[in-house]
Amino acid sequence: MIRYSAWVSSVFNPVIVGVLLCVVVGGAHMAHAVAVDEGRLADPALEAKAQRVMKELRCLVCQNQAINESNAPLATDLRQIVRERIAAGDNEAEIKEFMVARYGDWVLLQPPFKTSTVLLWIGPLLLAVGGGIILLIFYRQRSNVADVPTLTEAETARVAELMAASVDDVKDDGGSRS
């Protein structure tokens, strides 16, 4: 028969409780991730046009996700604005201009190349070149280090002699050092 305290400690083990908590919280998060967007346009052609625009607009909350993939409340609002603008007769360029006027170039997943966004476009290249230069300097300095010379026969014999003496000292002490 299992003792009560052993059963309680096994059931309420912190690891088990932690795993169960992750499953419950993660499951709730996953259930939230499949939200349905209710405000679709009735005309399939207009909805397809809206989806094309939404794929090019960034969710300002998620930051690297298009608004058509995001479940953030702001993304839902932006999708609604896109649909309203399409229903009003705006073309894709006009909708993007409207969003950029409101939120800046950051709202576009592919921001235009201009002076205010030049760092976005050239930054990764500068980082790669800088990293390459650092690696080159590191490996050049490493190759300039002189090779460690090998031991001569006399030096090898002396090392073996010292090691044997060290082993003998340990045996004489009974294997304990103080």
Q: Does 73 share its domain with 108?
A: yes
* pLDDT, position 63: 76
Q: Does 67 share its domain with 108?
A: yes
* pLDDT, position 150: 84
Share of the chain above pLDDT 90, in %: 38
Q: Is the pLDDT of residue 177 over 60?
A: no
Write out pLDDT tens, residues 133-160.
999 988 888 766 666 678 899 999 999 9
CA distance 78 to 75: 5
Residue 90 identity: D
Alpha helices in the chain, H assignment, sequence order:
4-11, 14-32, 44-55, 73-87, 92-103, 118-144, 153-172
CA distance 109 to 172: 75
Write out pLDDT tens, residues 111-131.
888 888 788 789 899 999 999
Backbone angles phi, psi at 36, to 5 degrees: -100, 135
CATH number at residue 45: 1.10.8.640
